[in-house]
Structure 1
């Protein structure tokens, strides 16, 4: 199974107000394994970033001025994501910007080009209701180090999200690897055989053992000059 973890950086928050994509970062997973075949590019948005967005990503107009425009990278991006299941944190945000760029170029919308979308923010809210589920919070929760992340970057965030996603969805895979041999663990089509539990045998205490137990409790009661905690807990 081919999955792509995707993130973008933008000039602002609203593509309908003219905000544009300035960076795309993608990380490839094949059968839940990082391949190292990533996609990353900076893009000239032909406009300035809003102050709030600039404080987040730090990509200045001067830095982006000699970078390719979206139309120049779109073919490579579409080839890269084509048919894959795409993993995004807060998917409506990134897809909204990508769709706006595609519309400008009269290109089919994002969902028509991929094999499905997983929104890890939705997953996280279902798994951890009432808790903070930002990417930074999930990194802390799942022990993914983001100490090197001074500013947001699309490729760095995609790499962090890939680790978080694998940690969030690891449960059943870890069980399979513990129960099977190495070959089976690498083959997702191998079905594990369920081994029935052995019959549970109960061995009741003998009369002599019960008498010794009662004598020990009586001794505790005498030392405490009352009823021992053991009798209270049992009753």
Structure 2
């Protein structure tokens, strides 16, 4: 299974108020193993960045002035994620921004390009109800080193999310491994049965007479024994 762990940083909180994506990262995993392939770019939003947002991610408009526009990277981004399952923490936020950016280019919404979207925040709330389930809290809970996360950054957050997701779903992996091992053992035990060693005992006269009576009763009733 091909999975993409995705995160974005933005100029603010609300795409319907004209806020834009300024950083996007997508980290690939194949069959629950990192492939070391990723998509990561900073993007010129063509607008100011809210002070509160800049305090969170530390990205300035000056830094983004020479970066590409979303329109210039959209096709490369879609090519990278196409057909994969997206794993996103608080998926409605990132999906909302990506759908807004795609709609500006008259492109189809994000779900049309991928096999599915998993929200790990929703998963965490179901697994840990009533507890803090942001990325930092989950890293602490699962013993994942997030000491480099002094500010939010899309690439680092996507990489940390991949580690968190593997920890969250480790029981599923163990179950699949146990089922696979059990199936192999069943197949091996079936193959190893030596029927040549079985003794064939001829039926006794009493068993033959009983069988003949059963056949005759079936004939009288009109039923066929074959």
TM-score in terms of structure 1 length: 0.76
Match of 1:38, SS state, is strand
Alignment-derived partner of residue 215 in structure 2: none
CA-CA distance at 1:173 after TM superposition: 1.7
CA-CA distance at 1:176 after TM superposition: 5.1
Matched pairs, number = 186
1:215-234 alignment, distance < 5 Å: none
Deviations 1:31-80 (A, max 9, x none): 00000001100000001110000000111000000000000000100001
Alignment-derived partner of residue 61 in structure 2: 61
Gaps of 5+ in 1: 195-235
Alignment-derived partner of residue 130 in structure 2: 130
Match of 1:78, SS state, is helix
Alignment-derived partner of residue 72 in structure 1: 72
Match of 1:92, SS state, is helix
Q: Within the alignment, does 1:155 sit opposite 2:126 as a pair? A: no
Runs of 4+ in 1 over 2 A off after TM superposition: 174-177, 190-194
Q: Within the alignment, does 1:87 sit opposite 2:74 as a pair? A: no
RMSD: 1.7
How far, CA to CA, are the matches of 2:172 and 2:69 in structure 1?
Answer: 43
Q: Which moved more, 1:122-131 or 1:167-176?
A: 167-176
Deviations 1:108-154 (A, max 9, x none): 00011110000000000000011110011000000111001111000
Alignment-derived partner of residue 168 in structure 1: 168
Match of 1:118, SS state, is strand
TM-score in terms of structure 2 length: 0.79
Q: Which has the larger radius of gyration?
A: 2
Alignment-derived partner of residue 16 in structure 1: 16
How far, CA to CA, are the matches of 1:192 and 1:164 in structure 2?
Answer: 30
Contact (CA 8 Å) 1:176, 1:192: kept in 2 or not?
no
